[in-house]
Structure 1
Amino acid sequence: MKRRTAPLATSALALSLALTACGSGSGGDGPDDTLVVGATAVPAGEVLTYIKDNLAEKAGLRLEIQEFTDYVVPNTALQEGTLDANLYQNKPYLDDFNQAKGTDLVPVVDAYLPPMGVYSKKVKDVTELADGATVAVPNDTTNEGRALKLLAAQGVITLKKDAGTDASPADITANPKKLTFKELDPAQLPRSLDDLDAAVINNNYAQDAGLSPTKDAVLLESAKDNPYANILAVKRGNEDDPRVGKLVQLLKSADVRKFIEDKYQGSVLPVTTA
């Protein structure tokens, strides 16, 4: 199985958006001090849209949201200056991306936790998976490791004691059901469920496909000690941009916390308060 450090772009539209979006640069001192933020549609785009429509004006923030359908272009666009910030990824993914791509991006705040889940149209519990069942996992390093750790936490497999966030099938030391692992682009996982026994799917792609993490997942991550909160990220050197600071405070606000709790009903979990 060929394993990629990060998935390729899944839509020409995402690339087009990245190339045509007009980033305003750092500092907010020019004629256009709009903060341009890249995001996946769910939940990041929805959270940012709530902020834009309800909170930004009062806070003195002009916000533009550029939506993407993959995990690569929002970071390359941020590095190149097309975006001022992005919101969609966790820190382990960002660290891996920086190392693999030579980018210099940094987190500024944890925004919310989108728990990863196992989904299946054939079983109601992961313990019901048949011997030799095929389970698909994301094919980028950190999300694959995250998926395997979720299965290991439930006792479906056992990983090496020193397996980190970049765990792969090579780190499996016990596989009692002799499961076959299939590595797929994260965006492809929901569309492939009919052909699989189960798939471990990122929260945003599950919700995009109409799956409810709290209702449809046969196994869902716990929030306790979970390192995979989604982060607002910027290019190094822009951490003190006053526009970014305003967005950070809004993301940490009680209003945004309530929005997340009310809208997602446990499918996305708030992690910060003002």
Structure 2
Amino acid sequence: MKIKKVILCILSLLLIFTSLIGCSKNTSSKGEDKTVIKLGITGEDRGIWKNIKERLAKENIDLQIISFSDYNRPNLALSDGEIDANAFQTIAFFDKFKSDHNLDLVSIGYTVLAPMGIYSEKLKSLDELKNNSKVAIPNDASNGGRALILLQNAGLIKLKDGVGIAPTVKDIIENPKNLDIIELVATQIPRSIKDVDIALINNGVAVDAGYSPVKDSILIEDTKDPSTKNYFNIIAVNAKDKNNAALKKLIQTYQTEETKKLINEVYKGSSIPAF
């Protein structure tokens, strides 16, 4: 009988522990249970998340924002259960990282797009682009491939079918204007913009150089274009938690008109809503 009681006690403890896995609970000063969501981000720019935290507090959800200094830890910490969700990465980065590390993570929704744009100090429109024009693109595989896809979406080149999200200049099969595509280190492109006719600059570099992607580009990635979705930022969670009520509330609170307005006010075009 004693053995049975011990087994029953162990089973009861296991059930209690299992019920606590996922988003934890805290008790407020008023004696109310608050669900805690630990959200991982990169850097110290908490911008929009402070507002989301305030709105979730009204739903008895305590959003705790945890900053990471690199792009590797947030997904590993999520997989290890140190955090409940993260929001810092594009779909393209997420898919590759979880495949490389065999992680069982999923996206529960889109947040923003940090758009790549086409810039020029010589042209006001791509309609003015002449034959044999010089075009600068980043020389790294990720941003260079993204630039080529944007050139294709603009109708300036055609790429081989099935090249995925990282095509190279060797994958160009049609170049009707005979554009001279010059590959440069991404951070050097703004300094070289006067030496080319158009330049494709990724978001972070453009903002650091003083450009507003929405205002200063002559063409910008379109959130409605299917090829752009690979570069949407997401909120990621463990697959087992994808139906967690508190995490669903997190994405529902984020994907609102109030958040759209705030994104536009805070980031002024350096990030645009992707929902």
Structure-2 separation of matches of 1:85 and 1:102: 17
Partner residue of 2:243? Answer: 240
Is the 2:203–2:213 contact (alpha carbons within 8 Å) kept by the matching residues of 1? yes
Matched length: 240
Determine which of 34, 38, 41 is the counterpart of 1:39: 41
Task: Work out whether 1:84 is the aligned partner of 2:84.
Answer: yes
Is the 2:138–2:144 contact (alpha carbons within 8 Å) kept by the matching residues of 1? no
CA separation of 1:29/1:255 partners in 2, compared to 1, >3 Å: closer, same or farther?
A: same
Structure-2 separation of matches of 1:268 and 1:159: 27
* 1:238 CA displacement: 2.0
Structure-2 separation of matches of 1:218 and 1:41: 30
CA separation of 1:201/1:235 partners in 2, compared to 1, >3 Å: closer, same or farther?
A: farther
Partner residue of 2:66? Answer: 66
Partner residue of 1:181? Answer: 183
The Cα offsets for residues 141-187 of structure 1, whole Å up to 9 and x where unpaired, read as: xx5433221111123332113332233333222342231224x5xxx
Q: Bigger CA drift: 31-40 or 148-157? A: 31-40
Partner residue of 1:224? Answer: 224
* 1:99 CA displacement: 2.1
Structure-1 separation of matches of 2:106 and 2:187: 30
Task: Work out whether 1:170 is the aligned partner of 2:170.
Answer: yes
Partner residue of 1:27? Answer: 23
Q: Bigger CA drift: 251-260 or 231-240? A: 251-260
Is the 1:113–1:270 contact (alpha carbons within 8 Å) kept by the matching residues of 2? yes
Tell me the percent identity: 32
Secondary structure of 2:24 counterpart: coil
Secondary structure of 1:62 counterpart: strand
* 1:201 CA displacement: 4.0
The Cα offsets for residues 44-95 of structure 1, whole Å up to 9 and x where unpaired, read as: 832212212x312112221222345654443233233333211132323322
Determine which of 235, 251, 272 is the counterpart of 1:269: 272
Task: Work out whether 1:103 is the aligned partner of 2:106.
Answer: no
Structure-1 separation of matches of 2:235 and 2:135: 37
Structure-2 separation of matches of 1:35 and 1:209: 36
Is the 2:138–2:200 contact (alpha carbons within 8 Å) kept by the matching residues of 1? yes
**Structural RMSD (CA):** 3.5
Is the 1:121–1:194 contact (alpha carbons within 8 Å) kept by the matching residues of 2? no
Secondary structure of 2:166 counterpart: coil
| Amino acid in the other structure paired with 1:193 | P
* 1:250 CA displacement: 0.7
| Amino acid in the other structure paired with 1:213 | P
The Cα offsets for residues 171-230 of structure 1, whole Å up to 9 and x where unpaired, read as: 222342231224x5xxxx346521565654443554466431112223211222342432
CA separation of 1:191/1:150 partners in 2, compared to 1, >3 Å: closer, same or farther?
A: same
The Cα offsets for residues 109-163 of structure 1, whole Å up to 9 and x where unpaired, read as: 12233332234567655637974554215533xx543322111112333211333
Secondary structure of 2:87 counterpart: strand
| Amino acid in the other structure paired with 1:35 | I
User: Runs of 5+ in structure 1 lacking a partner?
Assistant: 1-23
Is the 1:25–1:84 contact (alpha carbons within 8 Å) kept by the matching residues of 2? no
